């Protein structure tokens, strides 16, 4: 499931180009082809025709294409969505295509999604879609003190971290990774964390996200389903395997309905 690092990588790919795939900034949209109408959650996509892409931004797990008018295309990739650029001649051969935006330079921006959970919105006010989101964990304003101010209630710390109202873009994978790096048991009550532990958690969140972005840029495409023993993660999908830090067998349980993996020795 794409989380902040993977979505950020898609944003950079569209804005700057990565791995030989050109950027869409500066290109004009000439044809909008809605292959699967179910992907459109709100707005009229034909409003994009004739508009030039001037910027690509990310908020949590959302990607926004800004045009030279007020209209914006906001995309949520959900579990299996992706946005990539192909030659227009190859646009018909891509698999699981839900939306195609043909550009004036002979290329096509394609939204693919095998499981059809992703969706798009066309709006003049993208911020209205993000009203309930918490702070961005990689922003300068996201300090340890800012994190501490949002860690309220008696929920398990893992459940708190994956609440998008607390930290935007942090999901199951990187919450587990951050808690492992910080040495915090994911089942602990949020209120039980000390100031020192919150500082360690804040640092760990940023470290695992920056590391995830670096890894995602190398891979370009991610397929979590195929990651087994070769997983780049310390705990995610490694239940029953030895902890890479101490060798203890990693434990697992469900927290907030999500599979959660931790080390009983390192995360007491």
> Which residues carry out catalysis?
2-3, 61, 258
- CB of 84 within 8 A of CB of 112? yes
**Helix 195-219 with 4-16: angle, nearest 10 deg:** 50
Instruction: Please enumerate, as own/partner, the contacts of 49-55 that have beta carbons within 8 Å and a separation of 24 or more.
Output: 52/26, 52/27, 52/28, 53/24, 53/25, 53/26, 53/27, 53/28, 53/29, 54/25, 54/26, 55/15, 55/25
* 72 vs 66: CA distance, rounded Å: 5
DSSP structure string for 83-135: EEEEEGGGTTT-SSEEEEEEETTSEEEEEE-TT---EEEEES-GGGGGTT---
Token pair of 183, please? 């040495």
**Helix 172-182 with 195-219: angle, nearest 10 deg:** 130
- CB of 65 within 8 A of CB of 14? yes
Do the strands 40-42 and 119-123 form a parallel or antiparallel pair, or are they unpaired?
parallel
């Amino acid at each position: 499931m794409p989380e902040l690092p993977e979505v950020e990588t898609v944003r950079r790919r569209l804005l700057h180009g990565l791995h030989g795939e050109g950027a869409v900034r500066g290109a004009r949209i000439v044809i909008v082809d809605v292959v699967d109408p179910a992907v459109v959650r709100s707005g009229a996509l034909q409003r994009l025709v004739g508009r030039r892409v001037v910027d690509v931004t990310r908020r949590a797990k959302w990607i926004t294409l800004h045009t030279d008018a007020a209209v914006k295309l906001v995309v949520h990739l959900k579990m299996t969505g992706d946005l990539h650029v192909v030659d227009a001649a190859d646009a018909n051969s891509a698999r699981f295509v839900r939306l195609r935006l043909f550009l004036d330079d002979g290329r096509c921006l394609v939204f693919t999604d095998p499981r059809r959970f992703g969706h798009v919105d066309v709006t003049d006010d993208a911020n209205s879609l993000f009203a309930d989101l918490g702070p961005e964990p990689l922003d300068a304003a996201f300090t340890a003190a800012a994190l501490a101010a949002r860690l309220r209630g008696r929920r398990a710390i893992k459940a708190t971290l994956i609440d998008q109202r607390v930290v935007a873009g942090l999901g199951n994978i990187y919450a587990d990774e951050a808690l492992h790096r910080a040495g915090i048991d994911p089942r602990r009550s949020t209120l039980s964390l000390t100031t020192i532990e919150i500082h360690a958690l804040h640092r760990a969140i940023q470290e695992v996200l920056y590391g995830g972005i670096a890894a995602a840029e190398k891979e370009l495409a991610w397929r979590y389903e195929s990651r087994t023993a070769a997983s780049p993660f310390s705990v995610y999908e490694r239940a029953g395997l030895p902890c890479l830090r101490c060798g203890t067998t990693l434990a697992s349980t469900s927290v907030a309905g999500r599979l959660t993996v931790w080390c009983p020795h390192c995360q007491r």
